[in-house]
Amino acid sequence: MFTVAGLGALLATFETSSVNVALPSLAKHFDINLDTVSWVVLSYSLIIAPTLLLFAALASRIGFKKIYLTGFALFSVGSLVAGFSNDFTFLIVGRVIQGLGASMNISLGPAVIASAFPKGERGKGMGMIAMLVGVGLLAGPLLGGYLATVDWRLIFLAPLALSLWPFFLVPRIHSWRTPSNPDKNISPLSGAILFVAIGTFLYATKSINKAFVSAEVMYAFFGLSLAAVVVFLWRERNPEKHLIGYQLFRNRNFSVSMVLMFLAFVCTSSILVLVPFYVERQLGLSAREAGMFLAITPVLMFFFAPVSGRVADKIGARIPGIIGLGLLALGVYFLRDVTPADGIKGLIIPLVTFGIGLGIFGTPNSSDMMGSVSEEMRGIASGALSTTRSLSMTFGVAVSAALYVHSEKTVGPIEAYHYVFTLALVAALLAFGLSFFRESGKR
């Protein structure tokens, strides 16, 4: 169970982090700008965000086995389509298929770990998953940077061997054949409404820098996104139509943990999508060199995540969360003041501080979210956790890319980086302040 859940997390994070490093190479190959090439990341995240809850609910109804096998199959097909694309549109199609598969694989991960590990070791289990996430984030920049130097297609084709392994493992897990809740109501319409809300917001955000899109059209799409959010929230009141329901959010620690995760990953995605461009364009490093340098953060996550998970098992998530988010904010603050004159050394302290903070914060926060809900609610809570992470990454990439492109035209690239890192700092500081409102104690 752990291996299958871990492989889903490993593949999803590898594809995200490796593609981040390859964005400059893709932009050059297809002769497109940062705003356009960011759709390679956004298309993947966009399809994941509104489907995670649907797949979590569907798994409760038909069993984990079918969801996992279908997910890894789709991920493999998407990798082939993206890897053999000669056109940017087909590359995006491949990423969408990959995203569907990844959504099936990662929607159930937290629920699997919460069920497989006893209460006193849940943080340990989450920490072990976080180690695999760290491996994915580490292998992405290192291997992705090397592969992008050879041929960017290899970034999408390399994970195929790992994506086939679960077909030999999943059939051995007999408990996954039986649905946990065969009468579970599923509302595809709510998922579609959520997709409209996210998609129209992204289009409106991208339109900020498009001269051929009028202000009226842009505001209309922002309005449509807001309307879709209102309709989605209204449907959540109905037990027969909701995807999550409001019951989970009456739990204070669950709600606080979800908001903290959203803010922390908005900050993280803003950093991860811009730093590769900064390193390559302002400091003159190759994609391979940039990948090796950017491995600093995931290496630190790899070591600190399991330790913080075990600490959280003993003292709860409040103190590790405060310390982790404080270091996260401090790292972004240092990064905000870095200039090209500081060279490559100027990025080391900010990224080290940032990586330690992220490693300390993430595992206890996820463990606290899953530990604060009842066993029958873990499937939906797992989907909500994964959805929050995906939405925050999508939001962070969209807003930071739009802000950078707009600022680059008006004040230049250096100030544009400064503006994006300031946005990330605001998100980190908000999360740090809110972390004091989490209840203490073990979950």
- Domain co-membership, 62 together with 20: yes
Judge whether 443 lies within some domain: no
pTM above 0.85, yes or no: no
At residue 197, what are phi and psi to the nearest 5 degrees? -60, -45
Q: Mean pLDDT per 10-residue run, the chain (443 residues)?
A: 84 80 83 80 80 80 82 92 90 92 83 76 78 74 78 87 83 70 68 82 71 75 89 79 71 86 89 79 75 74 84 87 94 87 84 90 84 71 77 81 83 86 93 87 56
Q: Which domain holds residue 390?
A: 2-187+243-437
Residues 357 and 380 in one domain: yes
Cβ atoms within 10 Å of 187's Cβ, excluding its own: 18
* Same domain, yes or no: 113 and 198: no
Residue 414 neighbours by CB under 8 Å, 6+ apart: 282, 339, 340
**pLDDT recorded at residue 327:** 95
Q: What is the CATH number of the domain that holds 384?
A: 1.20.1250.20
- Out of 242, 259, 280, a domain closes at 242
Shared-domain flag, residues 140 and 193: no
Q: Please state, in angstroms and rounded to a whole number, the distance separating the CA atoms of residues 254 and 235.
A: 21
Give yes or no for a contact between 53 and 420, defined as CB atoms under 8 angstroms apart: no
Structural contact between residues 47 and 164, judged by C-beta atoms closer than 8 angstroms:
no
What was the pLDDT predicted at 210? 65
CB 320 within 8 A of CB 307: no
Give me Rg for the CA atoms of the chain: 20
